[in-house]
Amino acid sequence: MGEFALLLRFIRNGLRAQMLYPTAFLLRLVTQFTVTIVEFGGLWALFARFGHVRGWTFPEVALFYGAVSVSFSLVDMSTRGFDMFGPQFVKTGAFDRVLLRPRAATTQLMGFDFGFTSLGRLAQGLVALAIAVALLGIGWSADKVALMLWAIAGGTALFGGILVLQATLAFWTVESLEIVNTITYGGVEAAQYPLDIYAGWFRKFLIYVIPLGCVVYFPVATVLGRSATAGIPAWAGALTPLAGFAFLALAFGAWRIGIRHYTSTGS
C-alpha cells in the first residue's frame, strides 16, 4: 500500500473513530464553525464601526481573510501530529515507534488524529470567500480563479512548513511551543489584512522571512486588480505563491536534521 493510500486509510480510521459519537462530532464541527464565523463577525464589526481600513473595504479584506482561512484550515486538519509532536511523540517516546515502522514519519504524523473539526474553519473560510465574491461584483475570469487557487495552495504549503518547523523544534525543547502558534495564528491574523496597513518593517518580514505576503497579499491583490497598491508588477503576483513551497522544502530539511538529533540523543 503506497504512502498516499496509507494516509487515506489513517484518515478513514480517524473519521470512523470520531464518528463513533456522531452527535459530539457534529457538535464540535458546528462549534468550530460558529466560533470562526464569530471571529469573522469581529472583522465585520470593526468595519461596521470604522468603515474602511487604509482604503480597503470589507469585501476586499474578506477575500484575503477567506484565502488565509482556507489555507490554514487545510493544514490544521492534516498536521495535528506535527502540532502535538512534542508532548505526544517526543515526551512520551512514542516517536520511537514511528521510527520502528517502515514508513515515512511524515505520513504517520499526518495520519495521527486528523482534525476533522477544522472543517468548521474551512467552512468559515469558504463563507468569507463567498461573501467577498458576492459583494465585490468583479468579473471572475478563469485566470483569476486559478490565481486564487494557486494562492491558497501556496498558503497551505507555507503553513504546512511552519507546522513542520514547530515539530522540529520540539525535538530540542520537548514541549509544544507557543511561539509557533504566534506564527501560525498570528500569521493568520496578520495576513487576513492586506499587508500595506502595516508598518514597512513588518510588511518586509511577512514577505521575506515568513512569506505570508507572497502566498496571500500579492496574489489576492493581483486578483483584485490592486497589484499597484501592493507595489508589484501584475505578473509577479502569479509567481509569488512559489515561496510557500520553497518554505516547505526548507522546513523538511530542518525536520530531517531534527530526526538525526533525536536518534543521537535518545528519548
Partner 1 sequence: MAQIRVENLSKTYRVAVRDPGLAGAARGLFRRRHRDVAALDDVSFSLEPGELLGLIGPNGAGKSTTIKILSGILRPSAGRCTVGGLVPWEQRIAHVARIGVVFGQRSQLWWDLPVVESLELLRDIYRVEQAQFARTLEQLVGLLKIAPVLDTPLRQLSLGQRMRCEIAAALIHSPAILFLDEPTIGLDAVSKLALRDFVKTLNRDEGVTVLLTTHDMHDIEALARRVIIIGNGKLLRDSSFESMRAEVLRERRLFVDFADDGEPGPLEGARIVGRDGRTVEYAFDPARIAAHTLIARIAAAHDVADIRVEDPKIEEVIARFYALHGAVAA
Partner 2 sequence: MSALALPYLAILRVRFQLMLQYRAAAFAGFVTQCWWGVIKIMVMAAFYAGHPHQPITLAQAITYTWLGQGLLGLLPWNADTDISEAVESGNVAYERLRPVDTHALWLARAVAQKAGGTALRVVPMFVIAALLFPAVGLGDWAWKLPQTAEAAALFAISITLALFLASASVVLLNIAVVALKTRRAANVAGTLVNPLSGMIVPLALMPGWLQGFLFWQPFAGLVDIPYRIYFGNLAGGAAAAGITAQLLWVTIFILAGRYWLAEVWARVDMQGS
- Please give the residue ranges that form the binding site for partner 1 (CB under 8 A): 1, 5-6, 9-10, 13, 17, 93, 96-97, 99-104, 260, 263-266
Which residues are near partner 2 by CB under 8 A? 24, 28, 31-32, 35-36, 38-39, 41-42, 45-46, 48-54, 87, 117, 172-175, 177-179, 181-182, 186, 189-190, 193, 197-199, 202
Within 10 Å of residue 188's Cβ, how many Cβ atoms? 22
Q: 163, 152, 64, 183: which is closest to 115 by C-alpha? A: 163
Within 10 Å of residue 250's Cβ, how many Cβ atoms? 13
Taking the least distance from each CB to partner 1, the nearer of 6 and 37 is: 6
Quote the least distance from Cβ 46 to partner 2, whole Å. 6
Quote the least distance from Cβ 32 to partner 1, whole Å. 21
Taking the least distance from each CB to partner 2, the nearer of 3 and 175 is: 175
What residues form DSSP beta bridges with 56? 53
Grid coordinates of 167: 515539530
DSSP single-letter state for residue 225: T
Quote the least distance from Cβ 1 to partner 2, whole Å. 28
Chain-centre distance for alpha carbon 103: 25
Quote the least distance from Cβ 19 to partner 1, whole Å. 12
Burial (Cβ within 10 Å: 0-12, 13-18, ≥19) of residue 14: middle
Find where cell 515502522 sits: 101
Taking the least distance from each CB to partner 1, the nearer of 69 and 88 is: 88
Picked from partner 2, partner 1, none, the partner binding residue 254 (CB below 5 to 8 A depending on kind) is none
Quote the least distance from Cβ 156 to partner 2, whole Å. 21
Grid coordinates of 75: 493544514
What residues form DSSP beta bridges with 53? 56
Picked from partner 1, partner 2, none, the partner binding residue 252 (CB below 5 to 8 A depending on kind) is none
